[in-house]
Amino acid sequence: MEPIRQAITVAFRFPVYFTTRVFAASNLVLRDVVSRARGLTPSRILFVLDEGVLRHHPTVITDIDEYCRQHADVLQRAAPVFVVPGGETVKNDPRHVADLHRVIHDAALCRHSYVAAIGGGAVLDAVGYAAATAHRGIRMIRVATTLLAQDDSAVGVKNGINAFGKKNYLGTFAPPFAVINDFGFLPTLSDRDWRGGLSEAVKAALIKDRGFFDLLERQAAALAARDMDIAEDVIKRSAEIHLAHIATSGDPFEMGSSRPLDFGHWAAHKLEQLTAHRLGHGEAVGVGIALDTTYSYLARFLGEADWRRIITLLQALGLAVYAPELSHRLEADADPACVLRGLDEFREHLGGRLTVMLLRGIGAAFDVHEIRRDVMIRSVELLKRVHEYEIPAQSQGSHR
pLDDT, tens digit, 9 for 90 and up, residues 241-274:
999 988 888 778 877 766 778 899 999 999 999 9
With respect to CATH, is domain 192-387 assigned 1.50.10.10?
no
- The CA–CA distances, whole Å, from 194 to 77, 201, 287, 384, 393 equal 31, 12, 15, 24, 22
The rounded distance, in Å, linking the Cα atoms of 291 and 320 is: 11
Say if residues 42 and 78 touch (Cβ distance below 8 Å): no
What is the crossing angle of helices 341-350 and 265-274, to 10°?
A: 120
Tell me what pLDDT residue 76 has. 96
Look at residue 9 in the predicted model and tell me its pLDDT.
83
**Residue type (1 letter), 98:** A
Task: Go through 304-333 and write b for each residue having 16 or more CB atoms within 10 A of its CB, e for each that does not.
Answer: eebbbbbbbbbbbbbbbbbbebbeebbeeb
**Lowest-confidence range among 8-12, 275-279, 336-340, 371-375?**
8-12
Q: Which range (123-137, 161-175, 247-261, 283-297) has the least confidence? A: 247-261
CB atoms within 10 A of CB 131: 31
Q: How confident is the model over 177-202, as pLDDT tens digits? A: 999 999 999 999 999 999 999 999 99
Instruction: Taking each helix axis as running N to C, give the angle between helix 210-218 and helix 191-208, from 0 to 180 degrees, rounded to the nearest 10.
Output: 150
pLDDT in the model for residue 257: 64
Measured CA to CA in angstroms, residue 240 lies from 105, 217, 265, 391 at distances of 35, 19, 20, 35
Give me the pLDDT at residue 400, please: 29
Residue 166, by phi and psi: left (phi above 0), alpha (psi -120 to 50) or beta?
A: beta
pLDDT for residue 395 is more than 60: no
Between CA 47 and CA 227 the distance in angstroms is: 30
Please state the rounded mean pLDDT for residues 214-220: 98
How many angstroms separate the most distant Cα atoms in the chain?
70
Phi-psi region of 135 (alpha: psi -120 to 50; beta: other; left: phi over 0): left
pLDDT of residue 255: 74
CA distance 11 to 200: 27
CB 125 within 8 A of CB 162: no
Sign of torsion over alpha carbons 72, 75, 79, 84: negative
Band of residue 393 on the pLDDT scale cut at 50, 70, 90: low
Least confident residue range of 231-235, 243-247, 304-308? 243-247
% of the chain exceeding 70 in pLDDT: 97
Residue 396 has pLDDT above 80, yes or no: no
As a whole number of Å, the CA-based R_g of the chain is 21
Number of residues that make up the chain: 400
**Percentage, residues of the chain above pLDDT 90:** 84
194 neighbors 235 (Cβ within 8 angstroms)? no
Say how far apart CA 4 and CA 6 lie, in whole Å.
6
Task: Specify the CATH architecture of the domain 16-188.
Answer: 3-Layer(aba) Sandwich (3.40)
Q: What Cα–Cα distance (Å) separates residue 353 from each residue in 153, 296, 301, 356?
A: 25, 19, 21, 10
Per-residue burial over 249-278, b if 16 or more Cβ lie within 10 Å, else e, is eeebebeeebbbbbbbbbbbbbbbbbbebe
Report domain extents, the chain: 16-188, 192-387
